[in-house]
Chains A and B, each alone.
Chain A
Amino acid sequence: MEFLPTLWFVIIAVFWAGYLFLEGFDLGVGMLMKLLARNERQRRVLLNTVGPVWDGNEVWLITAGAATFAAFPMWYASLFSALYVPLVLVLVALIFRAVAFEYRGKAHRQSTRNLWDWAISLGSFTAAFGVGAMLALTTTGLPLDANGDRVGGAFAWFTGYAVLGGLAVVAFSLIHALAFVGLKTDGELRGRARRIIGRWLPVALAPMALWAILVVVPTGQVVPLGLLVLAVVGGVAGWLANRRGAEGWSFAFSGAFLVAGVSAIFVAVFPVVLPSTIDPAFSLTVANASSSEYTLGLMSIIAAFGIPLVLLYQGWSYWVFRQRVSEKHIPDAHTVTPVV
């Protein structure tokens, strides 16, 4: 197997894992706006735990998409066009969610704030579900013809795998977000987050584990199986850490579960990036979907500088906003009164 296409397969897997790790908790916090918070102040606490960082997290998605375009144009073209309708829904969800983050606090009426809360909550849910479905399908297959185009109509992608992947990312995001809320807030929300993780973690991580099992086990390969075991260990460790009230570890282990699980899946499907369910000969692979050596080499140089830098300054921004946010930190809502 050629080196550069393989390297870029790894880099793209890293972008997806990074996206699910980072935006996972802000998507989850978005959903929790309607599930966990009981009053306006608590909703604002939740919102402000991710306020400074959610946009940077979302760039991981854009970068995953753009890097796929640059490194594997065939993969990008086939996957995105095959999933046309669900991706439109994801886009609409992400648009409303982004605008709601910025505009919610600027609304004057409680009813308008409530509408924006729904935009954040439903937007986060739809985006998580859609991205999960997309990733599940790129690892399990779509009905693609020889040119890489979807056959079977607008909903040919709608399979059990799509639902499983969607549920997997939604449920993981909720647990990951609860761990984040435990780590980043104080008071009532912190305690409730911990109790809910204790009760629901095994159920919530099950769909992602199942997705990984369905992809990994049939291959019988040792490395992905090992990663799968690691993921399960991570999940159990997260649950135990939460029981003991070690919030930092709880969050770290839910992240470890994700990273190990996603790695297991990507290692297991390698070198296929998008299987065709019609004919394995039509499947897109690291070899037949990639850009030229020249382009991949250029992009590798950029990534070698770019990715460490991103980790450095994003890490710094998390350090700057490391304080817990609690209800007493939230200033009163500011009403804009016209002077003219």
Chain B
Amino acid sequence: MDPLEIARWQFGITTVYHFLMVPLTIGLGILVAVLQTMWVRTGRDVYLRMTKFWGKLFLINFIMGVATGLVQEFQFGMAWSEYSRFVGDVFGAPLAMESLLAFFVESTFLGLWIFGWQRLPKLLHLGCIWMATLASVLSAYFILVANSWMQHPVGVEMVDGRPVMTDAWAVFTNSTALVTFPHTIFGAFAVAGGFLIGIAWFHLYRRRKAGIDTVDAQGYVIVGQDTSHGAGRDKLDHAVWLKSLRIGAVVAMVAFAGVAFSGHAQAQLMFKQQPMKMAAAEAACHDGTGFSVLTIGNLGGGGATTCDDVVAVFELPGLLSFLANDDFTTEIPGVNTLLPQYQEKYGTHLPDDPMYGDRAGQEINYLPLMEVTYWGFRLMITFGGIAAVAALVALWVVRKGTVPENKWISRLAVFGILAPFGANSAGWIFTEMGRQPFVVAPNPTMDGSVDQVFMYTAAAVSPGVSAAEMLFSLIALTAVYGVLAIVEVKMIVRYVRGGVPAAMPELTAPPPGEDDDDTPPGDGDVLAFAY
């Protein structure tokens, strides 16, 4: 077994898994803060219910992001010690800032928010959720600065064979980070929007199915209620889901527009900064202007020669040039043009250095796994597009106040929740796999010493850690993550099925003699919330 391969699988699995929780935390967190703001401003119960219900799901998901984030912070040192030694001077700083400036705020103020209902004054309590969620956005910025430096190293000089930060402003305003940050945040809102649509649709459908809500001759909703379920099935409950669905749909559409624009800007940078990644994303062997809709053949990229086996079945002429350069005629270099350039600049063989282990002196393959980059790029766009269209359709379908009484459409809406998650994962897998064989990609857009700042993934792994140790952690973490995925999904399903009363026990069993929400509890009072 090869420690490098195991370490890469481990990083991929743990990071993609972690990033299932992250976008939902960011997107849903901000939406909960907005909903609570609307409640504080208007005092309307519907917003309180929405805050509590979506807030509960937010917390169930949040904790998984926290737990899996720990692994991220540690595994650079554990499995990638050579990488950590090489980049620490510049890469460690944003990570430390993320901890000190974002994670502390996030965790402290979220604790205050969870346990602060009725203990803190309303406005202060509202401030806590805003602090916590804005900190999660800030943490995204810091970690994307770190990642962007791996994609496009800037602001450093080579000293004794290691990059040393000389220009923090350049690092923190890296062009790659400035486009990746909005792309990621909009992606997070797409996830949150889809989440709201799917779950709200499910509840509206179940109300129809149970005969609580009906429609008149024109198809407009007649809201009913079933008091045997208490607040879970009253008239206000309908408003909770309809509003949630509409908000979710608008958020998802705006998010998709944002993702598309920022993604376009990102792709344009990438054509300049990592041309091979984009050529591999297109499976484009020869120079050209067309965007491939379907390319078949051996995309495996096992060696430089396999590019000859690739056949573009259907291309949209000019579109690739538009993506890269905002026109329809510029020839975009393909793999066959780029390979010799890379070989000339960065060499054909890995150095005969013990840090490369068995790989020392081997030929370097500059072509990423084209199957992954090609399909990763397309899955990202497809899933994102599906989600956006679905959001538009959903908004139109509920124009008369409810959803059709159709089991299959409801199931589709629930399954649709997965599409933006899929787009996020595919995008990350594309951009990280597309960076190979580098862990720190060279920066061809700058002259001088930055040009020589790059690192092969083969050199980054911990030399002292054995394959057996890596295998142990890969199996342990994957097993733990698998078990927890089941637990989390079951927990979310339970709280979704419980509806609003699941998140508001006070609706089903109001505490005796309590009539004013704002009185702080005296010493003998039962806590408003307790684990």
Verify if B512 is at the interface (C-beta below 8 Å from A): no
Given A73-B85, A331-B530, A338-B498; A102-B60 close (CB under 8 Å) = yes
Cβ B90 vs Cβ A295 within 8 A? yes
Verify if A3 is at the interface (C-beta below 8 Å from B): no
Question: Chain A residues near B67 (CB, 8 Å)?
Answer: 94-96, 98-99
Question: Chain A residues near B232 (CB, 8 Å)?
Answer: 339
CA–CA, A295 and B466, complex, Å: 32
Verify if B79 is at the interface (C-beta below 8 Å from A): yes
Verify if B341 is at the interface (C-beta below 8 Å from A): no
Tally of contact residues, B, Cβ under 8 A: 92
* Complex interface: stretch among A177-185, A189-197, A234-242, A299-307: A299-307
CA–CA, A331 and B476, complex, Å: 37
Cβ A321 vs Cβ B99 within 8 A? no
- How far, in Å, is A21 (CB) from chain B's closest CB? 15
Question: Chain A residues near B164 (CB, 8 Å)?
Answer: 291-292, 294-295
Q: Which of B95, B210, B472, B484 interacts with A70 by CB under 8 Å?
A: B95
Given A102-B60, A307-B100, A330-B526; A69-B462 close (CB under 8 Å) = no
Verify if B408 is at the interface (C-beta below 8 Å from A): no
Verify if A52 is at the interface (C-beta below 8 Å from B): yes
* Complex interface: stretch among B104-112, B376-384, B387-395: B104-112
Q: Which of B85, B100, B525 interacts with A77 by CB under 8 Å?
A: B85
- How far, in Å, is B389 (CB) from chain A's closest CB? 27
For the A-B complex, the count of residue pairs with Cβ-Cβ distances under 8 Å equals: 282
Q: For chain A, which range describes its interface: under 10, 10 to 19, 20 to 34, or 35 or more residues?
A: 35 or more
CA–CA, A62 and B104, complex, Å: 10
Contact string against A for B residues 69-97, beta-carbon threshold 8 Å, 1 for contact and 0 otherwise? 11101101111011011011111110111
Cβ A320 vs Cβ B92 within 8 A? no
Most buried by B among A47, A56, A321: A56
Question: Chain A residues near B120 (CB, 8 Å)?
Answer: 320
Cβ A58 vs Cβ B107 within 8 A? yes
CA–CA, A78 and B92, complex, Å: 15
CA–CA, A72 and B89, complex, Å: 8
Q: Please name the residue on chain A nearest to B113 by beta carbon.
A: A52
Question: Chain B residues near A145 (CB, 8 Å)?
Answer: 464
Question: Chain A residues near B74 (CB, 8 Å)?
Answer: 65, 80, 87, 91
Q: Please name the residue on chain A nearest to B60 by beta carbon.
A: A102
Verify if B115 is at the interface (C-beta below 8 Å from A): yes
Q: Which of A78, A95, A323 interacts with B68 by CB under 8 Å?
A: A95
Q: Which of A59, A73, A303 interacts with B88 by CB under 8 Å?
A: A73
* Complex interface: stretch among B43-51, B279-287, B316-324, B499-507: B499-507
Q: Please name the residue on chain B nearest to A294 by beta carbon.
A: B165
CA–CA, A205 and B114, complex, Å: 34
Cβ A320 vs Cβ B119 within 8 A? yes
* Complex interface: stretch among A103-111, A166-174, A218-226, A254-262: A103-111
A265-285: which residues lie under 8 A (CB-CB) from chain B? none
* Complex interface: stretch among B189-197, B441-449, B489-497: B489-497
CA–CA, A71 and B92, complex, Å: 7
A53-96: which residues lie under 8 A (CB-CB) from chain B? 53-56, 58-59, 62-63, 65-67, 69-74, 76-85, 87-88, 91-92, 94-96
Which are the 6 A-B pairs with shortest beta-carbon distances? A73-B88, A80-B77, A70-B92, A149-B464, A339-B232, A77-B81
